[in-house]
Structure 1
Amino acid sequence: MLLCAVTISVITTLISSCSGNYAFNSNVKPDNADQYFSASNVKIYNNIKEFPGPFELVGLVEGDDCQTKAHLAPPDPINARTQARQSAYAQKANAVIFTSCINIDAQHCVAQIVCYGKAYKVVTSNE
C-alpha cells in the first residue's frame, strides 16, 4: 500500500511539473521576420514567356554560398539562389530568372558558388 502511494505521488509530481510555463527562444527576431521569409515571396521562372502578366525589370541580383572549412558541407546552389531571391525581394521584385550559377575560387572559402539572376516585378492575377 505504501509503495502504491509513493508511486502515485511520484507520478503526480512528474505530471504537474510538465505543466509549467516554458519560454521559447529563437534566432528569428520579430523585426527581421520579413527578411527571413522574403525569398518565399519571389517566384522562380525559367524565362519571361512564363510570366502570367505584364512585367518590369527591376534589376540584377546575385547570391552566394561559401564552404568556409573543409569539413563543412559543400556550397549549395539552393542557398545561393535563396539569397538572390531575398535580394530581389529587397528591390520590390516578385519574380526572378536565374541566368547562371558558377563555382568560383575565393580566398576566404574552400569552395564557393554564386548564382546570378534578373529580378522582375510581375503583375499576377491576384493583383
Structure 2
Amino acid sequence: MRTLSLTFIALTLSGCANWGFDSNVSPAGVKDYYKAGSVTLYSREQLADKNYVTLGSVEGEACQLEANEPPPKEADARNHIRRRAADMGANGLLLDNCMHFDDMPGCIEHVLCSGQALSVAE
C-alpha cells in the first residue's frame, strides 16, 4: 500500500513538471518596486547625532485619475518619494511634508510629499 501511495504522489508531481508561470512583472520592475525599502525615513531629532550629507530635494506623488478609483494614499506618495531618493543614491530621507490637493490638472485628488534625500553614515 505504501509503494502504491508513493507511486501515486510521484506521478502527480511529475504532471506539474512542465507547468510554467507567466507574469507581466519584469525582474527590473520588482527591483524598482522594492528599492524604496533601502531608504529609511528620519525625523530631525533622529538625525541630530548622525553624520549625513543632503543629496538634494525630492518629491513623490499619488494621484486619483478617475472617479471610480480609490482616493490617493499618503503612504503611496511616501513610497514614491523613497524610490526617487533611492534613484539619487540615498539611504535616508527627511520628509518635509505631504499635502493633499483637490481638482489638480489631470487628477481628481492628489497627494504630494516633499523632502530631502540623504546619505547617512552607518
TM bracket (short chain): 0.7 to 0.9
Task: State the shift of 1:33 in Å.
Answer: 3.7
After superposition, where does 1:87-98 map in structure 2 within 5 Å?
87-98=84-95
Distance across 2 between alignment mates of 1:16 and 1:54: 55
Task: State the shift of 1:17 in Å.
Answer: 8.0
Aligned partner letter, 2:28: D
TM-score (norm 1): 0.77
Distance across 1 between alignment mates of 2:21 and 2:116: 38
Match of 1:102 in 2: 99
Question: Structure 1 stretches of 5 or more lacking a match?
Answer: 1-10
Distance across 1 between alignment mates of 2:50 and 2:68: 46
Structure 2 counterpart of 1:29, from 23, 26, 31: 26
TM-score (norm 2): 0.80
Structure 1 counterpart of 2:117, from 108, 114, 119: 119
Contact kept in structure 2, 1:59 and 1:118, CA below 8 Å: yes
After superposition, where does 1:1-127 map in structure 2 within 5 Å?
15=12, 19-47=16-44, 49-51=45-47, 53-104=50-101, 105-124=103-122
Task: State the shift of 1:20 in Å.
Answer: 4.0
Distance across 1 between alignment mates of 2:67 and 2:86: 32
% of aligned pairs identical?
Answer: 30
Contact kept in structure 2, 1:99 and 1:118, CA below 8 Å: yes
SS at match of 1:38: helix
Distance across 1 between alignment mates of 2:14 and 2:113: 50
Task: State the shift of 1:16 in Å.
Answer: 6.4
Aligned CA RMSD, in angstroms, stands at 2.2
Compare CA radii of gyration and give the structure with the larger one. Answer: 1
Distance across 2 between alignment mates of 1:33 and 1:73: 23
**Matched pairs, number:** 112
